[in-house]
Amino acid sequence: MSYRDSPLQDVLRHRLPTGGLPGVQRLTRLRSRAQALGRLAASVTAASIAAVTSAQLLVARVPGGRAAPFAAAALALFVIAVPSMAAAQIHWARAVAGAVRLENELFARVCAPPAARRAACRLLAAAGWGIMLLLGLTLPRLLSESGLYGVASSARRGAEAAAYAAYAAGAGFAIWWIKDVAAGAVHALRGSPAPGDPWDPGSPVGARRGAGLCAGAALAVAALIAARAHLWNPSAMLVFGLLFGTLAALIAWNIVTGE
């Protein structure tokens, strides 16, 4: 076997020989699964916010007692959305932790994502929870205005308890996030990052596809949130259009990036 065809030359060229390092294929699968669960968690969060926001917007656009079904739907969507968001994000975190553990076993180091991207992802996740909390705190008033006084009273007590817990969780997250950002900044100032391992296959490239669909869904959700904040006044048909457009874009985003 010549030097040109030797495994050492493959390593120097940052290419894996046939068969690769044991465990690399498993690492690739774990990374792909973590990326897919990350897209799913983001999609669940965006779809939940869009659905709850749309239901609340429709409550304000239906006169009289006919708003009661929409208010009940908003409450039901909120009750479903919160555990769905939590479950999706927990599964995503577990998948990422599994990939990080295997990276450490294979390469004796953690191939962590850039500190800026990690901090941005965590901040966006916290923003999603903050928006959902604000939507939940407005539910008692909407239920009361729709004539569901008994449900509104129970929802008001639950909202008060959830608000105190959310304030404490938010303060804890802010401290933890600032500490993580500061640690990343200090690490970046110490010098350039270590070179990549030549046996590391890298992250799957599929996640970079479908950026337009993701941006479109984000813009639609932002438009619904702006309408809920009384920054503009869309019609009921436009609210439905933004909601279904968001759902369609999120589904297409997961399909395109998962191919």
**pLDDT > 60? residue 15:** no
**pLDDT > 50? residue 57:** yes
Q: Where are the domains of the chain?
A: 22-188
Give the pLDDT mean for 223-250.
93
Counting every residue, how long is the chain? 259
pLDDT in tens, 123-163: 888 999 999 999 999 988 888 888 788 888 888 888 888 88
Is 21 in a helix, a strand, or coil?
coil
Q: Helices (DSSP H) in 108-199: which residue ranges?
A: 115-137, 139-145, 149-189
Instruction: For the beta carbon of residue 190, count every other beta carbon within 10 angstroms.
Output: 8
**pLDDT > 90? residue 192:** no
Give the pLDDT mean for 228-252.
93
Phi-psi region of 2 (alpha: psi -120 to 50; beta: other; left: phi over 0): beta
Residues in CB range of 158: below 8 A, 6 or more apart: none
Classify residue 161 by burial, with Cβ atoms within 10 Å: 0-12, 13-18, 19+: exposed
What's residue 112's pLDDT?
Answer: 56
Is 108 in a helix, a strand, or coil?
coil
- Of the two residues 37 and 4, the one the predictor is more confident about is 37
pTM for the full predicted model:
0.81
What's residue 178's pLDDT?
Answer: 86
What's residue 217's pLDDT?
Answer: 93
